[in-house]
Amino acid sequence: MRKFLAALLTLCMLASFAIAFADEPITLTVFRGDPGDQPTADNKIYKKIEETFGVKFNISYLAGDLDQTLSLQLAGDVYPDLFDGGNSADLIITGGALINLLDYISPEKTPRLWAHIEPQKARLIEKDGEGNDVLYIIPNYGLPDGPQIALSVGGPAFFIQKQVLEWDDYPTIKTLDEYFDLLERFLDANPTDENGTPYTGFAILCEDWRHFCLINPVQHLMGRPNDGEVYICVTDQNYEVTGNDPAEPFKTETFIDKPYAKAYYKKLNEAFHAGLIDRSTFSMSYDQYIALISNGTVLGMFDQAWDFGTATSALIDSEKFDRTYVALGLVYDPDYVNGAEIEEHYLNGSLPNVRRGFGISTTCANPELIVAMWEEMLSDEWQILLNWGVEGEDYFVDENGRLNMTAEQYANTQNNQWKLANKADAIFQSSPKKQGWIMNDITLPSGTVIKAGNCWEPGNQDEIVFGLMNEYDKSFLAAYGFSKFADFVNPPIELAPYGEAWQIDYTPVTVAHDNFLKVQDRVLPELIQCDPAEFDAKWDAFVLEIKPYADEFAAYMQEAVVTEAHKVLDNAD
Kindly write down the DSSP assignment for every residue of 377-422, as one continuous string: HTSHHHHHHHHH-SBTTTBEE-TTS-EE--HHHHHHHT-HHHHHHH
Contact 144, 350 (CB under 8 A): yes
Fold type of domain 2-98+100-135+352-456: D-Maltodextrin-Binding Protein; domain 2 (3.40.190)
* Bridge partners for 134 per DSSP: 126
Listed in order, the ranges of the chain carrying CATH 3.40.190.10 are: 2-98+100-135+352-456, 156-347+472-572
Among 501, 487, 484, residue whose Cα is nearest residue 224: 501
User: d(Cα 290, Cα 348) in Å, to the nearest integer?
Assistant: 26
The DSSP symbol for 530 reads S
* Bridge partners for 325 per DSSP: 161
pTM (two decimals):
0.86
> Could you list the pLDDT tens digit for every one of the 573 residues in the chain?
333 333 443 444 444 444 456 578 899 999 999 999 999 999 999 999 999 999 999 999 999 899 999 999 999 989 999 999 998 999 999 999 999 999 999 999 999 999 999 999 989 999 888 989 999 999 999 999 999 999 999 999 999 999 999 999 999 999 999 999 999 999 999 999 999 999 999 999 999 899 999 999 999 999 999 999 999 987 666 666 555 555 555 689 999 999 999 999 999 999 999 999 999 999 999 999 999 999 999 999 999 999 999 999 999 989 999 999 999 999 999 998 888 899 999 999 888 999 999 999 999 999 999 999 999 999 999 999 999 999 999 999 999 999 999 999 999 998 889 999 999 999 999 999 999 999 999 999 999 999 999 999 999 999 999 999 999 999 999 999 999 999 999 999 988 889 999 999 888 999 999 999 999 999 999 999 999 999 999 999 999 999 999 999 999 999 999 888 888 887 765
Q: Are strands 144-145 and 435-436 parallel, antiparallel or unpaired?
A: parallel
User: d(Cα 229, Cα 212) in Å, to the nearest integer?
Assistant: 9
Percent helix / strand / coil, the chain, rounded to 5: 45, 15, 40
Please give the class, per CATH, of domain 156-347+472-572: alpha beta
